[in-house]
């Protein structure tokens, strides 16, 4: 009798937890899109330009803007860090994981990864062309760049790819602390990549914030779509199983 009473309670608890996660996911998408739109409006109207310039200047030595603040080795470290969000590294990481999940026939994970990465790249290129913001000129660049500035492609693609990889890996980890660690590493990685872009003088802070926000919105939206498809498929399978039993 006690077990019978506990089953509805456990089911209700799982339902509330699942719906709460769904609500949080939707709120993340809405908040991220709202943040991006606010930043885009500020960039387009020039309202944030003074702040952007002030941050870039503050990261350089007062007497020589070609020299960044901090120890001499920090510039080289930032170049290494920033490469983790560059096209070649993102491509190799995505390709390697795609081959791995494909070999293990995890086709839903494969589709999620490819749609998120390819769609994120197309979205990034489209947004850059739409806003057409030039690179910072108030301080010398510490590395060569050629593309447009808003939003930051490194920040956006790092957010998209590394967070999706964390979302795919976290459920495979047995304990909660390890899952939190996986997600924390992905967040930290995207953070330091974005910071490196500002430190090197190749992006305004608002470019990086824009890349983070739109990347988070896109990655979360793709994950939500994948979760919804899997949920519908599971529900359909359950209904079919019940119908077969009744027959």
pLDDT 10s digits, 121-155: 999 999 999 999 999 999 999 998 988 999 999 99
Q: Of 101-105, 160-164, 191-195, 202-206, which gets the smallest average pLDDT?
A: 101-105
In this prediction, residue 181 carries a pLDDT of: 92
Confidence of residue 10 (pLDDT cuts 50, 70, 90): low
Q: Is 154 a catalytic residue?
A: yes
In this prediction, residue 68 carries a pLDDT of: 92
Q: Is 141 a catalytic residue?
A: no
Q: What is the largest CA-CA distance in the chain?
A: 84
pLDDT over threshold 90, residue 159: yes
Instruction: Please tell me which residue, 66 or 9, carries the higher pLDDT value.
Output: 66
Q: What is the pTM of this model?
A: 0.86
- As a whole number, mean pLDDT of residues 89-96 equals 95
In this prediction, residue 235 carries a pLDDT of: 58
pLDDT over threshold 80, residue 236: no
Percent of the chain with pLDDT over 70: 87
- As a whole number, mean pLDDT of residues 205-232 equals 90
Confidence of residue 14 (pLDDT cuts 50, 70, 90): low
Which listed residue (5, 104, 141, 203) is catalytic?
Answer: 203
- As a whole number, mean pLDDT of residues 86-92 equals 94
For residues 52-77, one letter each, b for 16 or more C-beta atoms within 10 angstroms of the residue's C-beta and e for the rest, the string is bbeebeebbeeeeeeebeeeeeebee
Confidence of residue 247 (pLDDT cuts 50, 70, 90): low
In this prediction, residue 6 carries a pLDDT of: 47
pLDDT over threshold 70, residue 173: yes
What's the rounded Cα separation, in Å, for the pair 42 and 151? 13
In this prediction, residue 244 carries a pLDDT of: 54
Question: Mean pLDDT, the chain, as a whole number?
Answer: 87
């Amino acid at each position: 009798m006690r077990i019978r009473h506990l089953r509805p309670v456990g089911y209700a608890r799982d339902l509330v937890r699942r719906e709460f996660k769904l609500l949080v996911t939707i709120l993340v998408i809405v908040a991220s899109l709202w943040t991006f739109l606010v930043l885009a409006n500020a960039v387009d109207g020039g309202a944030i330009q003074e702040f952007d310039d002030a941050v870039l200047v503050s990261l350089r030595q007062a007497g020589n803007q070609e020299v960044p603040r901090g120890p001499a080795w920090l510039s080289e470290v930032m170049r290494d860090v920033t490469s983790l969000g560059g096209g070649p590294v993102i491509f190799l990481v995505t390709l390697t994981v795609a081959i791995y999940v494909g070999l293990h026939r995890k086709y839903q994970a494969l589709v999620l990864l490819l749609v998120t990465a390819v769609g994120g790249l197309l979205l990034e290129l489209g947004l850059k062309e739409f806003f057409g913001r030039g690179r910072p000129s108030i301080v010398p660049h510490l590395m060569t760049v050629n593309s447009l500035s808003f939003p930051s492609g490194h920040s956006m693609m790092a957010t998209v790819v590394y967070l999706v990889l964390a979302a795919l890996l976290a459920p495979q980890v047995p304990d909660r602390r390890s899952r939190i660690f996986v997600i924390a590493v992905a967040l930290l990685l995207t953070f330091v990549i974005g910071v490196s872009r500002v430190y090197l003088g190749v992006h305004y802070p608002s470019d990086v914030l824009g890349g983070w926000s739109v990347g988070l919105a896109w990655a979360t939206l793709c994950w939500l779509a994948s979760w919804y498809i899997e949920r519908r498929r599971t529900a359909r399978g359950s209904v079919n199983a019940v119908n077969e039993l009744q027959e």
